[in-house]
Structure 1
């Protein structure tokens, strides 16, 4: 516990955030001027180029590395739905370096964040109003299908919000419903980022985040419950193995 309370960790986090905000403001300003005139895939590459900096800067400032297992399972030339556990801010930054391009399902409020949210809004996100549950599901299915038809993978955190390490929360069926209705596979991805960057934590703890890509779950002629059981079941099992549930 002494290491976690070390003043050095706070100093490293301060340096990280100084670099994070300065680079974000400058880079996002440039993107807001240039990106709207670009086709989506080129726009995605430009805007999310900063995410590679975020990962580099975390490693330099906070000693936070990443080990990816099974990335070869991700389809190269077809659309799919990704579902993942959500315990940290880390995965919202990392996944844009791994699943490219993508349309992320997120809360509407994020698009109001100056610079960061404005640039995020150019990436065809599916921004849901969480106060309207029925409307949000319809929006997810409608816009999700549109993205998938454009061969853009859709990223969903089925827990809906960040869940602390040691808890599981509830895994919603939205991802399974979208994948089944669109006839595309669903791919579960698990990670233990919450151990090193707990939700809403200022301090980031050094170590290596493990990211594991699960088996491709086929949706052909299968029910939503079957697809959800396979994908969410695998996530829960792996979360327990990683000691994050």
Structure 2
């Protein structure tokens, strides 16, 4: 009972920092954003993400450990593919892959202030009610971002999937990488253990992020590459869920 109350109080403290700071910071982004280049805009807008992760650690005891950071290319475009369990990765991954164009659902851009600022970071906002059109948009806009040298981040499960379940991984990210001949970087995390999807409560602990080695796509079929990438992700997810070291 007491521990449950403490978790709620810690979550309230996080919210008391998260929402006011976001509301205060967003107007500066909207005002200054048009004056900045994309890379400058991304760097400025995501300053607040450092606060989010810091505030999570202070209020909720939620830390992060990254394994395999050296596998992220230091230059050049690539497609990053990750599992989706929580709101946490939408905050932290903007610090992990910099800059980036994230693939997301179009509805997020309608959120006042937050969504408007997010829309200025050149996301690939898809209408999930039209899967065929969404794939065409992903391939077209994703190719534009990659040609500009901007990495694309995609969550191929399409939505948050609870810990212990794999969900279905679509091939859009693999198709995008193959059509542009850029590597795929697989990423796995277990944030759903500590910040379950749509949960107000955050649990203390260490989110483990594992970054796999780049998967090269030259002269290889989409299905083969997709099987390799998703096979690695699923294997690492199972290891994390079992509590084994990854």
Normalised-by-shorter TM-score class: over 0.9
Give the conservation status (yes or no) of the 8 Å contact 1:195–1:244: no
Give the conservation status (yes or no) of the 8 Å contact 1:81–1:154: yes
Question: Which aligned runs of 4 or more in structure 1 are off by greater than 2 angstroms?
Answer: none
Match in the other structure for 2:41: 43
> Residue 222 of structure 2 is aligned with which of 202, 221, 224?
224
- Is it true that 1:60 corresponds to 2:66 in the alignment? no
SS in 2 for 1:243: helix
Aligned-pair CA distance for 1:77: 1.2
> Residue 205 of structure 1 is aligned with which of 192, 203, 206?
203
SS in 1 for 2:112: coil
Describe how 1:56-95 pairs up with structure 2 within 5 A.
56-95=54-93
Match in the other structure for 2:177: 179
Aligned-pair CA distance for 1:114: 1.3
Q: Provide Cα deviations, 1:148-193, integer angstroms capped at 9, x if missing partner.
A: 0001000000000000011110000001000001100001000000
- Is it true that 1:121 corresponds to 2:136 in the alignment? no
Q: Provide Cα deviations, 1:115-139, integer angstroms capped at 9, x if missing partner.
A: 1111100100000000111100000
Aligned residues: 243
Describe how 1:105-144 pairs up with structure 2 within 5 A.
105-144=103-142
Give the conservation status (yes or no) of the 8 Å contact 1:190–1:238: yes
Task: Please report the TM-score for the alignment, with normalisation by the length of structure 2.
Answer: 0.97
SS in 2 for 1:162: coil
SS in 1 for 2:208: strand
Aligned-pair CA distance for 1:75: 0.7
| Whole-angstrom CA distance in 1 between matches of 2:62 and 2:191 | 10
SS in 1 for 2:75: coil
Task: Please report the TM-score for the alignment, with normalisation by the length of structure 1.
Answer: 0.97
| Whole-angstrom CA distance in 2 between matches of 1:11 and 1:135 | 44
> Residue 153 of structure 1 is aligned with which of 137, 151, 154?
151
| Whole-angstrom CA distance in 2 between matches of 1:138 and 1:160 | 16
SS in 1 for 2:241: coil
| Whole-angstrom CA distance in 2 between matches of 1:216 and 1:83 | 11
> Alpha carbon RMSD of aligned pairs, Å?
1.2
Aligned-pair CA distance for 1:36: 1.4
Aligned-pair CA distance for 1:227: 1.1
Ranges in structure 2 where 5+ consecutive residues have no aligned partner: none
